[in-house]
């Protein structure tokens, strides 16, 4: 008994000792922790803080891209991703479910608001094992309007994840210039928006802001704990970019290119509208193009061809070889040269004019410019010298990048080693250029000799600090004098106004004078030489208006349009140039030029004069005498005595010699009838418009009663009449 009691006392004492020791250790540990605030070298306060610390990202706004008037071109926009919660565990109160309760009804109602069928939505909602469902592309990037419509349905378990996307309100709008930006994903989660092409890519660093943060203490449900302090680091938004583009002018350009693209299906269209006084690019586009949101069409061409692509310009290069010859004082508009063919040497085929080398006989250099004679420009090169022309190509900065703030700019290439290359360069063959180089060079012609560097970014604004960085117009050279530039514009105006001008039928604007030059450039074939066929050319026009003080310069290129047999390659080019140039001038409030009143003359009796006196009189009055026969005395004339005639009208004179018929190609029916009546011919008129063909050869002798068959056609057919169906050009293809 005593032994048992003694053993119990020992056991109790042992337990008391053990528990006492444990209590002592715990007390010491507690006091140590309380005193030091650390466990294993780590501060408990920091650990506790981390346990409750919550950090949310405050997203920075990507900079907005505006046009020069402050119209939005690209900006950030809220978007939403539709989700459906299928996990029943999230519902704590059956009366207020937070998961999808009725998949069939939910699918039916959602199908009315997203582009998925009711069956497809139902299959997603009923697939086993899913706790949360998304709806693919149909459920992503939903606008706020669609989100609100779905929320009004009050469907259990249906919610949204908010995100940001890049929004382009104008759709296809200078897409290759603006480019596009999109949100990148990491581990399935959207991160910042990154520029992928165009200005969005080249200015990505400036446009991208720096995210901020919100730090606070929260419970397990992420609610902010009472009396907890919040730390806010404000986000820094990206900088805004204002472009030189004008939304109105760009819209004119886009609409015109769309129409031509649809009507003629060319392989490529390039077009630029610029202010020649500053170098600011007001409009710029190309076809094919793409939509910056959907990227539809980007697989056809993602390059900005206006700056990245070089090509042989054709006869638009004659603007600058003409300018060089004027500046050097070797261009005499009234001097003549033998058109048709130019022989560089006996070893090579001749350089030919674009009418298969037939030419127009001896013509003046002014008419050579109007007719776009390659031969005339070859003779001009002789007069100014090949070294001089090479210097002017440098002055106009061909073969050099313009320095515009766009990526991957091409420089083109000047081929100037062999004699033939030197000659062909004056009319735009062999040497390659970019569209932007042509605009820069043309600014010298339009801006009194001062050449302006092109630019597309007007200013950059830091919205946080208010700092503004502006682009100031920069003179990139002065290749010719103010006097020479004015003379060149006057000459180029006649390309549009002269009866023989290559631009006469296409580029005249009501109310505004235009100075410019047409171009038809050959396309190099992959296996050497050039492509053949009437459509296998690059058709272009480089023009400015109004001629005396150009406010706009425009360059249009259309490659390989699909043309009918009665259509000329200048048509699709003109269908872009004319509406865009005229609408833009009107939009800029450029007053139409006042037209001079036509001079009207009452004809005297010319039979009282001899042929020489009558001819001189008519020319003084601005009329065009047409002689039937080479006699010295006048028998009769049409219009007759007392008729009122307008400046430029033809006056047909019948002389006392054997009558001969002139070349009446391009004449109106009225003028042809004047000749037929005075010569007493029996005339048969076929068709409408202007004379395309006459059965009596020009300068042939005729007698009263002879039959004249006159075939008439419209203006387009007139331009095409000298071209064969298969383009029979030999060796040198037509370059106008």
Residues designated as active site:
315
Q: How far apart are CA 449 and CA 324, in angstroms?
A: 11
* Dist. CA 660–CA 395, nearest whole Å: 52
CA 312 to CA 322: how far, in whole Å? 18
Residues paired with 182 in a beta bridge: 194
Alpha carbon distances (Å) from 43 to 27, 60, 299: 19, 34, 58
What DSSP state is assigned to residue 39?
A: E
Tokens linked to 70: 């402050």
Q: What secondary structure letter does DSSP report for 418?
A: S
How far is Cα 524 from Cα 583, in angstroms, rounded to an integer?
35
CA distance 356 to 367: 18
> Nearest to residue 412, comparing CAs of 425, 401, 423?
401
Give the CA dihedral 561, 562, 568, 573, nearest 10 degrees. -30
Please state, as a whole number, how many other Cβ atoms lie within 10 Å of the Cβ of residue 641: 13
How far apart (Å, rounded) are the C-alpha atoms in residues 439 and 396? Answer: 10
Confirm if 373 and 353 have CB atoms less than 8 A apart. Answer: yes
- Is there a contact between 476 and 311 (Cβ–Cβ < 8 Å)? no
Nearest of 644, 696, 638 to residue 671 by alpha carbon:
638
User: Alpha carbon of 713 to those of 411, 716, 721: distances in Å?
Assistant: 44, 8, 9
- Let me know how long the chain is: 736
Q: Report the DSSP beta bridge partners of residue 653.
A: 627, 637
Give the C-alpha separation, 84 to 110, whole Å: 11
What is the rounded CA–CA span in Å between residue 538 and residue 312? Answer: 8
CB atoms within 10 A of CB 447: 23
DSSP secondary structure string for all residues of 455-504: B-EEEEE-TTT--EEEPPP-EEE--S-HHHHHHHHHHHHHHHHSTT-TTT
Structure tokens at 433: 């250029």
Question: Which tokens sit at 476?
Answer: 């990139």
Nearest in space to 192 (alpha carbons), one of 56, 62, 55: 62
Whether 327 contacts 318, CB under 8 Å: no
* Cβ proximity of 638 and 677 under 8 Å: yes
Number of neighbouring beta carbons within 10 Å of residue 690: 20
């Amino acid at each position: 008994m005593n032994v048992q009691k003694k053993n119990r006392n020992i056991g109790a004492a042992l337990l008391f000792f053990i528990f006492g020791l444990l209590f002592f250790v715990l007390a010491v540990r507690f006091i140590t922790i309380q005193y030091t605030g650390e466990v294993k070298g780590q501060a408990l306060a920091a650990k506790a803080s981390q346990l409750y610390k919550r950090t949310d990202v405050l997203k920075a706004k990507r900079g907005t891209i505006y046009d020069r008037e402050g119209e939005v071109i690209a900006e950030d926009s809220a978007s939403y991703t539709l989700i459906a919660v299928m996990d029943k565990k999230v519902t704590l109160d059956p009366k207020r479910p937070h998961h999808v309760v009725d998949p069939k009804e939910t699918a039916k109602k959602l199908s009315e608001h997203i582009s998925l069928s009711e069956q497809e939505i139902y299959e997603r909602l009923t697939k086993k094992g899913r706790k949360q469902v998304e709806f693919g592309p149909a459920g992503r990037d939903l606008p706020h309007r669609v989100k609100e419509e779905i929320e009004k349905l009050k469907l259990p378990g249906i919610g949204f994840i908010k995100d940001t996307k890049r929004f382009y309100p104008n759709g296809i709008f200078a897409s290759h210039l603006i480019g596009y930006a999109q949100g990148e994903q990491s581990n399935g989660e959207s991160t910042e928006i990154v520029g992928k092409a165009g200005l969005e890519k080249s200015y990505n660093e400036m446009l991208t802001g720096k995210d901020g943060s919100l730090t606070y203490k929260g419970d397990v449900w992420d609610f902010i704990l009472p009396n907890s302090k919040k730390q806010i680091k404000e986000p820094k938004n990206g900088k805004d970019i204002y472009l030189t583009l004008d939304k109105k002018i760009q819209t004119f350009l886009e609409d015109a290119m769309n129409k031509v693209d649809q009507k003629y299906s060319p392989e490529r269209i390039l077009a630029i509208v610029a202010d020649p006084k500053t170098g600011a690019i007001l409009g710029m586009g190309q076809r094919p193009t793409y939509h910056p949101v959907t990227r539809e069409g980007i697989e056809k061409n993602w390059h900005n061809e206006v700056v990245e692509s070089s090509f042989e310009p054709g006869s638009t290069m004659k603007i600058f070889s003409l300018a060089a010859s004027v500046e050097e004082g070797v261009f005499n508009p009234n001097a003549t040269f033998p058109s048709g063919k130019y022989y560089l040497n006996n070893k090579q085929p001749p350089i030919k004019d674009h009418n298969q080398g037939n030419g127009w006989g001896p013509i003046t250099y002014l008419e050579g410019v109007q007719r776009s004679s390659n031969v005339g420009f070859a003779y001009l090169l002789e007069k100014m010298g090949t070294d001089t022309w090479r210097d002017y190509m440098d002055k106009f900065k061909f073969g050099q990048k313009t320095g515009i703030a766009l990526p991957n700019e091409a420089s083109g290439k000047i081929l100037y080693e062999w004699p033939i290359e030197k000659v062909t360069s004056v009319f735009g063959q062999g040497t390659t250029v970019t569209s932007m180089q042509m605009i820069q060079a043309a600014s010298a012609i339009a801006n009194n000799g001062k050449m302006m560097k092109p630019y597309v970014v007007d200013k950059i604004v830091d919205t946080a600090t208010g700092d503004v960085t502006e682009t100031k117009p920069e003179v990139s050279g002065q290749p010719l004098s103010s006097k020479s530039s004015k003379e060149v514009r006057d000459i180029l105006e006649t390309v549009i106004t002269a009866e023989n001008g290559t631009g006469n039928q296409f580029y005249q604007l009501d109310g505004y004078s235009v100075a410019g030059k047409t171009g038809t450039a050959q396309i190099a074939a992959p296996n050497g030489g050039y492509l053949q066929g009437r459509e296998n050319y690059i058709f272009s026009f480089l023009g400015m208006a109004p001629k005396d003080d150009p406010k706009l310069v425009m360059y249009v290129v259309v490659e390989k349009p699909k043309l009918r047999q009665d259509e000329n390659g200048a048509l699709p080019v003109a269908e872009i140039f004319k509406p865009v140039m005229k609408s833009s001038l009107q939009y800029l409030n450029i007053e139409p030029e006042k037209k001079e009143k036509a001079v009207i003359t009452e004809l005297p009796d010319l039979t009282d004069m001899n042929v020489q006196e009558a001819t001189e009189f008519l020319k003084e009055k601005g009329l065009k005498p047409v002689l039937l026969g080479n006699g010295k005395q006048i028998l009769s004339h049409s219009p007759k005595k007392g008729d009122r005639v307008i400046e430029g009208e033809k006056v047909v004179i019948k002389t006392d010699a054997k009558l001969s018929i002139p070349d009446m190609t391009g004449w109106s029916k009225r003028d042809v009838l004047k000749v037929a009546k005075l010569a007493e011919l029996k005339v048969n008129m076929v068709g409408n418009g202007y004379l395309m063909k006459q059965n009596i050869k020009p300068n042939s002798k005729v007698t009263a009663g002879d039959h004249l068959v006159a075939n008439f056609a419209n203006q387009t057919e007139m331009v095409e009449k000298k071209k064969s169906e298969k383009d029979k050009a030999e060796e040198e293809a037509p370059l106008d």
